[in-house]
Amino acid sequence: MDNFEELIKAFEKEEKMKTKHLKKKAEKKKKTRSIKISDAKSVDSIKATLRRRIESVTSDTLKRIASHSETASTINKYRGQIRQILS
């Protein structure tokens, strides 16, 4: 009798897990295609804004410190790394 009760408890627990998983899956599917596209566009616009700001700041800095070649090369190196990250 104990084995049967344990089996029933295990089955009920598995059913609860299945329903939790199905609920989460349904919530994920609720996002429509248009929402996903708008999210992607907002991320792209944020990246573009960051790129523009970084370019303006670094170019201004490079103009000001043109005589310090080591510092300028370091800034150029970091600017290239940032471009790779944002692309």
**Residue 53 belongs to some domain of the structure:** yes
The total number of structural domains in the chain stands at 1
Q: What is the pLDDT of residue 1?
A: 55
Residue 13 has pLDDT above 60, yes or no: yes
**Residue 6 belongs to some domain of the structure:** no
**Residue 82 belongs to some domain of the structure:** yes
Residue 7 has pLDDT above 60, yes or no: yes
**Residue 11 belongs to some domain of the structure:** no
Question: How many residues does the structure list for the chain?
Answer: 87
Q: What is the pLDDT of residue 39?
A: 83
Which residues make Cβ contacts (< 8 Å) with residue 72, sequence separation at least 6? 62, 65, 66
**pLDDT, tens only, 14-68:** 666 667 777 777 777 766 777 778 888 888 898 889 889 988 988 888 888 888 8
**Residue 8 belongs to some domain of the structure:** no
**Residue 50 belongs to some domain of the structure:** yes
User: Which residues form the domain of 87?
Assistant: 45-87
**Residue 60 belongs to some domain of the structure:** yes
**Residue 37 belongs to some domain of the structure:** no
Q: What is the pLDDT of residue 85?
A: 86
Q: What is the pLDDT of residue 27?
A: 72
Q: Which of 80, 76, 78 is nearest to 68 (CA)?
A: 76
